Amino acid sequence: MSTLSGFYASTDSLKGVYYGPGCVATALPKLIRSLGVKKGLIVTGRSLATKTNVVNKITDILKAQDAYAGVFTDFSQHTPIADINACIKAFRDTGADFIIGLGGGSPIDGAKGAMYRIHEQTGVLPPPQIAIPTTLSAAEYTMGAGYTNEDGEKVAVTHQLLPPAGVILDAELAMPTPSRLWISSQAGIRALDHSVESLYRPSVSHPVKILCYAAMADLFKYLPISKADPDNVEARQRLLMAAWMSLWPMKWEKWSAAGLSHALGHRLGAKYNIPHGITSCLTLSPVVAVQARLASEEDKQYLANSLFYLRESSTGSIDGDILRLSALIAGLVERLELKSTLREYNVPKEDLVKLAQGDDALEVLNRIY
């Protein structure tokens, strides 16, 4: 059997990750049976529903199982709270008992946000979600969800019951995703951001850090291949699995926030409507450079070790290796034609101090202005 296809399960709450081109046809019915659910609401975005046949494929599978409840397509970028409330209404109106989060980080995170609010309002267990990503955001592996409140501020919620109960990684469903969206926005560089920041994120175990190195290596290798050949199914499948490794599903004793790159990305994205993948293109490289000065010795060593997995020679010093990693990330962003500045997104210079909330973050923002 090809290593591009298979099955994995880690905990009782995660019934399984099915992966491989074309696997959705058999994986989705298996997950429905294992969860014991009856009617699924597909939660997705308008573009996927109107410009591709992906939603129709999932609808046909659900109807064949007599498990179709309906489709909700009104999740937009940065997941506004109004969209979450509308999703909850659709879930109740259609009589659904599970959700299929289909698409990028917005619908998958949005579905988690809806699940959280349902649990908050009723006190009962939230409905299960089956996540079918068509980008590389890796939102399907976390117990956290982010949405934008009425004031335009990013809100984060976490709960042990929020991770999807099943994940399907089918590259054939990801083929219609436009190349730039696939490579950047909620996609490849975002997954690289997860991998790198997990090297100094609190409570990430050593084995998971090793998976992050593998994710980084595949992202550096296959993102340029996928950009050059958007129809390459193998490259897209490899990248879906790299995103999986970048945020390996695990049960946290205590949820820990990601690093400075993610924090800045959330602030920039919510306030200035910059896609999260693009915020990672902006912030990750300079944030890594700052770690050469700020990180603990142990975290510095983890960052420096990245060069070995990327098959790059050491500079001869730990700090030098971290700066080399920063340069490699910047080079990848430029190679993928994703380099930009805050000025290009009309971020006022006078806003930087408030956005930064600290001198180190301000240094990063000034570098990318």
What is the reported pLDDT for 89?
96
The predicted-structure confidence for 30-64, as pLDDT tens digits, reads as follows 999 999 999 999 999 888 999 999 999 999 999 99
What is the reported pLDDT for 12?
61
The domain segmentation of the chain, as residue ranges, is: 6-177, 233-367
Closest CA to 367 of 312, 318, 329: 329
What is the reported pLDDT for 181?
73
Which parts of the chain have pLDDT scores under 70?
A: 1-3, 7-12, 184-187, 251-257
Main-chain dihedrals φ then ψ at residue 21, nearest 5 degrees: -60, 125
**DSSP assignment of 61-127, as one string?**
HHHHTT-EEEEE----TT-BHHHHHHHHHHHHHHT-SEEEEEESHHHHHHHHHHHHHHHHHH-SPPP
Taking a C-beta distance cutoff of 8 angstroms, is the pair 220, 310 a contact? yes
Closest CA to 141 of 236, 39, 13: 13
What is the reported pLDDT for 11?
59
What is the reported pLDDT for 9?
64
What is the reported pLDDT for 224?
95
Main-chain dihedrals φ then ψ at residue 103, nearest 5 degrees: 130, -135
Topology of the domain comprising 233-367: Dehydroquinate synthase-like, alpha domain (1.20.1090)
CATH number of this structure's domain 6-177, picked from the four choices 1.10.1370.30, 3.30.360.10, 3.40.50.1970, 1.10.10.60: 3.40.50.1970
**DSSP assignment of 208-222, as one string?**
HHHHHHHHHHHHHHH
pTM of this prediction exceeds 0.85: yes
Taking a C-beta distance cutoff of 8 angstroms, is the pair 40, 99 a contact? yes
User: Which run of H or of E encompasses 308?
Assistant: helix 306-309
What is the reported pLDDT for 310?
98
